[in-house]
């Protein structure tokens, strides 16, 4: 087994015991990048030289006998909508083509305190708007399990990097499923923390009441460890939660005896792929056999979640993206006067999906439509949240598929935006309610594509979903299998 | 059709975007399909329901009003498309 195939916690132990050096590990991952990145296209920016320098620095610290932090010397990748001081942050948009942040996002400050090796910035749907990474203004990312398929999105680059061995761990962001769905499509673990658990300071804003940063990882243990690094109150983000942060690794124990698992009937929808349904139901049977109790529940407002999400998120996006005006940073396209300059800049530099969402958002917020659309959506959001509150009086966690299908072929859905939006049915309700969710592999389709199980928790109770995920993971072997890219021996 | 050409033009101006003639029909159809789908919200009785803007209940997050280090001017201007004498430079707004 090559080093790039191992999870971070195994590599951490090897570094600590001085069985390997970070330079050795980093060179192994860089060689993997040389070998498969041309087929996968997970990265927008690679920072090879800096990565090797960080590896050398980590090795010196370890040799000096200093305590080894979890991510120390371990190569990871960062989604390109997270501000990285001195390293270009494009959001996969032409409007930020030359943007080099003069500061780090809080999550980057926290990650860098661990002395990791940072390989570069990963591809996404422009401004995180999309579920396939096809909306990137730069290039398409390919699913490592079948390069004809999408990796999911919007954190498709981060998921594809972790799945193909071109990063050991990665950060993504999740506004309506953008960590969990690509994790599901690429067969890795993705965790969206409770809203407020992780600071949003320095994350390029899409929909501020929904956005969260979280890990994409090889296994549940790595996800818990990365969550430990990035969580916590931040005075730079007034919506970050003051709740104490537990040590999430303490939740990693095999124990689901008596755990009450809710199965929401509304999530097993008509459009669901039968192979997905079977894989998820088999996983739930596995939980039952391990001592969990399965309870059928109802979340009656689920069918309104797509409408609610696709009004609130574009409305917030329309407001947040007003800042791209060609004045203080980003691209500028000249015009005769100020308004023409702004209009030229935005028309030429934003992609189609971003423009569509800005216009839908402004439509929903405009005079005459505000009450019928935006305000109505905010009220239905309350009802969606109440559904969960009631369900969680009866159960400890809720389980359902992460996505209604496995990864689909590139180009097969992009021309029908509404059809794309409907694919988000299993993931957007959590963001509306602010709840934590994790996706982990629970099967493969007949075509060999990964299927994800989603576990939803109570607000600020990431520990229970981590414990449930860990228990199932240890009963299976998915976390030890990596995608076989072309040319490799199976 | 819910979305008319006039609606599209209006919302484009609000968004500081221009929709070229040959793309207007596609935008109108796509926005119309999306907004028509969203009409399912009108089935929901929200008579006595309060709106939720943030999922976690939080309000009035205060901190001490202290001077702390922040980005210096050089750094803040480092990404400006056009600058002059420490200022962002924009096209002329006022007449001579």
pLDDT for A94-122, tens place per residue?
999 999 999 999 999 999 999 999 999 99
Q: Within a domain: residue A375?
A: no
Alpha carbon distances (Å) from A318 to A163, A212, A380, B35: 33, 18, 20, 16
Q: Within a domain: residue A417?
A: yes
Q: Does A276 have pLDDT greater than 70? A: yes
Domain that holds residue A392: 3-299+385-480
Decide: helix, strand or coil at residue A213.
strand
* B56–A434 C-beta distance less than 8 A: yes
Within an 8 Å CB–CB cutoff, is residue A72 touching chain B?
no
What's the residue count for chain B?
96
Annotated catalytic, A355? no
Size of interface A-B (CB pairs under 8 A): 166
Q: Per-residue pLDDT tens for A134-157?
A: 999 999 999 999 999 999 999 999
Set A154, A184, A231, A445: catalytic member: A154
Within an 8 Å CB–CB cutoff, is residue A413 touching chain B?
no
* A241–B56 C-beta distance less than 8 A: yes
In chain A, % of residues over pLDDT 90? 96
Shortest Cα distance, chain B CAs vs residue A85, angstroms: 11
Provide the pLDDT for residue A300. Answer: 96
What's the rounded Cα separation, in Å, for the pair A157 and A144? Answer: 11
What's the rounded Cα separation, in Å, for the pair A20 and A117? Answer: 15
Q: What is the CATH number of the domain that holds A48?
A: 3.90.1300.10
What's the rounded Cα separation, in Å, for the pair A155 and A150? Answer: 11
Which residue bears the tokens 């008319």? B4
Which residues neighbour A150 within 8 Å (Cβ) at sequence distance 6 or greater? A132, A133, A134, A140, A141, A142, A143, A156, A185, A407, A408, A409, A410
Is the Cβ–Cβ distance between A260 and A287 less than 8 Å? Answer: no
Instruction: Label residue A489 by pLDDT band (50, 70, 90).
Output: very low
* B38–A373 C-beta distance less than 8 A: yes
Provide the pLDDT for residue B94. Answer: 78
User: Residue A335: which of B12, B40, B91 has the nearest Cβ?
Assistant: B91
Q: Per-residue pLDDT tens for A190-217?
A: 999 999 999 999 999 999 999 999 999 9
Average pLDDT over chain B, rounded to whole? 92
Shortest Cα distance, chain A CAs vs residue B23, angstroms: 10
Annotated catalytic, A93? no
Average pLDDT rounded to a whole number, residues A90-97: 98
Average pLDDT rounded to a whole number, residues A392-405: 97
Decide: helix, strand or coil at residue A177.
coil
Which residues neighbour A128 within 8 Å (Cβ) at sequence distance 6 or greater? A81, A91, A154, A155, A173, A175, A178, A204, A206, A211
* Chain A residues with beta carbon closer than 8 angstroms to that of B81: 326-327, 329-332
Decide: helix, strand or coil at residue A316.
helix
Provide the pLDDT for residue A486. Answer: 60
Torsion angle (degrees, nearest 10) of CA A178, A181, A187, A189: 60
Within an 8 Å CB–CB cutoff, is residue A317 touching chain B?
no
What's the rounded Cα separation, in Å, for the pair A3 and A66? Answer: 23
Within an 8 Å CB–CB cutoff, is residue B94 touching chain A?
no
Q: Within a domain: residue A326?
A: no
Shortest Cα distance, chain A CAs vs residue B4, angstroms: 12
Q: Does A490 have pLDDT greater than 60? A: no
What's the rounded Cα separation, in Å, for the pair B61 and A344? Answer: 38
Q: Does A183 have pLDDT greater than 50? A: yes
What's the residue count for chain A?
490
What's the rounded Cα separation, in Å, for the pair A90 and A425? Answer: 28
Within an 8 Å CB–CB cutoff, is residue B1 touching chain A?
no
Q: Per-residue pLDDT tens for A15-63?
A: 999 999 999 999 999 999 999 999 999 999 999 999 999 999 999 999 9
Q: Within a domain: residue A27?
A: yes
HSE at residue A462, side-chain half, CA atoms within 13 A, is 33
Q: Within a domain: residue A309?
A: no
Q: Does A133 have pLDDT greater than 70? A: yes
Q: Within a domain: residue A145?
A: yes
Q: Per-residue pLDDT tens for B51-76?
A: 999 888 887 888 889 999 999 999 99
Provide the H-helix boundaries in A331-445: 338-349, 352-365, 376-391, 417-422, 428-433
Provide the pLDDT for residue A163. Answer: 98
Q: Per-residue pLDDT tens for A427-463?
A: 999 999 999 999 999 999 999 999 999 999 999 999 9
If 0-12 CB within 10 Å is exposed, 13-18 middle and 19+ buried, where does residue B43 land? exposed
Within an 8 Å CB–CB cutoff, is residue A237 touching chain B?
no
Shortest Cα distance, chain A CAs vs residue B29, angstroms: 10
Q: Per-residue pLDDT tens for A333-368?
A: 999 999 999 999 999 999 999 999 999 999 999 989
Name the token pair of A36: 């498969």
Q: Quick one: CA dihedral A202, A205, A210, A216, positive or negative?
A: negative
What's the rounded Cα separation, in Å, for the pair B16 and B23? Answer: 16
Q: Within a domain: residue A372?
A: no
* Chain B residues with beta carbon closer than 8 angstroms to that of A359: 8, 11-12, 15, 17, 27, 31
* B90–A341 C-beta distance less than 8 A: yes
Annotated catalytic, A79? yes
Our measurement of the distance from residue A185's CA atom to the centroid of its chain's CA atoms, rounded to an integer in Å, reads 12
Task: Note whether ipTM > 0.90 here.
Answer: yes
* A306–B18 C-beta distance less than 8 A: no
Q: Within a domain: residue A379?
A: no
CA neighbor of A216 nearest in space, from A184, A247, A176, A249: A184
Q: Does B79 have pLDDT greater than 80? A: yes
* A239–B56 C-beta distance less than 8 A: yes
Average pLDDT rounded to a whole number, residues B70-86: 94
How many distinct structural domains can be found in chain A? 1
Name the token pair of B58: 């939080």
Read off the pTM.
Answer: 0.97
Average pLDDT rounded to a whole number, residues A407-417: 94
Provide the pLDDT for residue B92. Answer: 82
If 0-12 CB within 10 Å is exposed, 13-18 middle and 19+ buried, where does residue A475 land? middle
């Amino acid at each position: 087994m090559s080093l790039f195939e191992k999870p971070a916690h195994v590599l951490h132990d090897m570094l600590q015991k001085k069985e390997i050096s970070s330079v050795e590990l980093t060179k192994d991952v860089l060689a993997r990048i040389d070998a498969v990145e041309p087929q996968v296209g997970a990265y927008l920016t690679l920072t090879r030289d800096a990565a090797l320098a960080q590896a050398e620095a980590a090795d010196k610290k370890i040799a000096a006998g200093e305590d080894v932090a979890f991510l120390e010397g371990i190569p990871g990748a960062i989604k390109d909508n997270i501000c990285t001081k001195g390293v270009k942050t494009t959001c996969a948009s032409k409007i930020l083509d030359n943007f080099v942040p003069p500061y780090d996002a809080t999550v980057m400050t926290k990650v860098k305190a661990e002395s990791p090796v940072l390989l570069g910035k990963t591809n996404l749907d422009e401004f995180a708007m999309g579920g396939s990474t096809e909306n990137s203004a730069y290039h398409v990312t390919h699913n490592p399990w079948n390069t004809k398929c999408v990796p999911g999105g919007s954190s498709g680059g981060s998921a594809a990097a972790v799945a193909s061995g071109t990063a050991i761990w990665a950060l993504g962001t999740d506004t309506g499923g953008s960590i969990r769905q690509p994790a599901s499509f690429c067969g890795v673990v993705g965790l969206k923390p409770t809203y407020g658990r992780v600071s949003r300071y320095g994350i390029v804003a899409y929909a501020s009441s929904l956005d969260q940063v979280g890990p994409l990882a090889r296994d549940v243990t790595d996800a818990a460890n990365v969550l430990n690094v990035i969580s916590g109150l931040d005075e730079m983000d007034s919506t970050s939660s003051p709740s104490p942060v537990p040590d999430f690794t303490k939740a990693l124990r095999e124990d689901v005896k008596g755990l009450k698992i809710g199965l929401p009937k509304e999530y097993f929808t008509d459009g669901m792929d039968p192979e997905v349904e079977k894989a998820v139901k088999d996983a739930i049977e596995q939980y039952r056999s391990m001592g969990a109790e399965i309870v059928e529940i109802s979340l009656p407002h689920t069918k309104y979640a797509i409408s609610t999400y696709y009004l609130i998120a574009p409305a917030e996006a329309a407001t947040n993206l007003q800042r791209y005006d060609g004045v203080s940073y980003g691209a500028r396209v000249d015009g005769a006067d100020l308004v023409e300059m702004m209009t030229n800049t935005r028309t030429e530099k934003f992609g189609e999906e971003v423009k569509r969402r800005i216009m839908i958002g402004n439509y929903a917020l405009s005079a005459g439509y505000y009450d019928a659309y935006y305000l109505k959506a905010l009220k239905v959001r309350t009802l969606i949240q109440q559904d969960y509150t009631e369900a969680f009086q009866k159960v400890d966690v809720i389980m359902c598929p992460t996505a209604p299908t496995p990864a689909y072929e590139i180009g097969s859905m992009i021309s029908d935006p509404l059809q794309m939006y409907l694919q988000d049915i299993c993931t957007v309700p959590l963001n509306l309610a602010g709840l934590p969710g994790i996706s982990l592999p629970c099967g493969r389709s007949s075509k060999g594509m990964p299927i994800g199980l989603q576990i939803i928790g109570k607000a600020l109770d990431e520990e229970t979903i981590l414990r449930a995920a860990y228990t199932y993971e240890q009963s299976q072997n998915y976390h030890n299998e990596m995608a076989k890219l072309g040319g490799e021996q199976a | 059709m819910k979305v008319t050409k006039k609606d599209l033009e209006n919302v484009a101006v609000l968004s500081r975007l221009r929709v070229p003639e040959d793309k207007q029909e596609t935008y109108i159809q796509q926005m119309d399909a999306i907004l028509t789908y969203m009409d399912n919200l009108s089935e929901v009785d929200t008579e006595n329901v309060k709106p939720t803007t943030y999922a976690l209940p939080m309000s009035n997050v205060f901190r001490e009003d202290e001077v702390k280090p922040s980005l210096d001017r050089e750094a803040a201007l480092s990404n400006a498309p056009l600058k002059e004498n420490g200022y962002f430079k924009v096209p002329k707004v006022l007449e001579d």
